């Protein structure tokens, strides 16, 4: 796993260099006399603040100018963000949570659910659904009528790219697997996958 904290503090050429290994699972180094290919299939996790001062968003006390906020967001290209399966806006925890609210679900319970979903993925010949492609992806992520209509409207409106469409279907399949459902994906599966792939609304993303 590669974890990049403060993602927007990395230089844009560095971030854009991640696009090819994320897509192909290899790093290609080409020099005058030779070209070498190294395996590079990894899980990319990244975090960033909503703005340079880190206070952006309600109730917030952001000290950044509008120009500074725009500059910060522009460091992430649209094509790079498109390659993240999940994009979540993490809200500031409230005071009661920080002072000790009710305990959440145990890691052991979550791990058992993940192991069960991975076992389902293994029946498709992959270790996780992110590796599904081609006909295996089509077969595993068949859509019912309403799910297909929902994705079609998003494609026509330009909300999803072709690459994004594949990622949405893989995430929806994983959500259904985690819930123990098989068969074609429904509208609810696609809706949930779309909620987990929100446009980072604090950013002025450019392509």
Binding site for Zn ion (CB under 5 A): 51, 53, 56, 62, 64
* Min dist. Cβ of residue 67 to Zn ion (A): 12
Which uninterrupted H or E stretch holds 2? Answer: strand 2-4
Rounded to an integer, what distance in angstroms lies between the CA atom of residue 10 and that of residue 89? Answer: 20
Cα end-to-end span (Å), the chain: 26
* Min dist. Cβ of residue 60 to Zn ion (A): 8
Rounded to an integer, what distance in angstroms lies between the CA atom of residue 131 and that of residue 129? Answer: 5
Cis status of the peptide bond prior to 166, with omega within 30 of 0: no
E strands present in 32-119:
35-39, 44-46
* Min dist. Cβ of residue 9 to Zn ion (A): 14
* Min dist. Cβ of residue 92 to Zn ion (A): 13
* Min dist. Cβ of residue 91 to Zn ion (A): 16
List C-alpha distances in Å: 2 to 40, 48, 79, 113, 149: 11, 14, 19, 23, 36
As beta bridge partners, residue 2 has: 44
Look at residues 54, 50, 59, 24 and name the one whose alpha carbon lies nearest to residue 39.
24
Which uninterrupted H or E stretch holds 137? Answer: helix 134-140
């Amino acid at each position: 796993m590669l974890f990049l904290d403060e993602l927007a503090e990395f230089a844009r050429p560095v971030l854009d260099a991640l696009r090819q290994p994320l897509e192909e699972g290899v790093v290609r180094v080409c020099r005058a006399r030779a070209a070498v290919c190294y395996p590079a299939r990894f899980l990319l996790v990244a975090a960033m603040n909503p703005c340079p001062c880190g206070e952006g968003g309600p109730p917030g006390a952001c000290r950044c100018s509008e120009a500074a906020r725009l500059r910060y967001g522009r460091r992430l290209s649209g094509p790079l963000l498109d390659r993240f399966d999940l994009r979540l806006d993490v809200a500031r925890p409230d005071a009661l949570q920080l002072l000790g609210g009710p305990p959440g679900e145990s890691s052991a319970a979550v791990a058992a659910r993940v192991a069960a979903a991975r076992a389902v993925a293994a029946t498709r010949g992959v270790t996780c659904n992110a590796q599904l492609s081609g006909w295996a992806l089509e077969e595993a992520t068949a859509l019912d009528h309403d799910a297909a209509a929902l994705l079609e409207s998003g494609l026509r409106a330009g909300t999803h790219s072709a690459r994004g469409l594949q990622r949405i279907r893989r995430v929806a399949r994983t959500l259904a697997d985690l819930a123990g459902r098989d068969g074609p994906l429904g509208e609810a599966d696609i809706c949930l996958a779309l909620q987990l792939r929100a446009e980072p609304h604090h950013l002025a993303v450019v392509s």
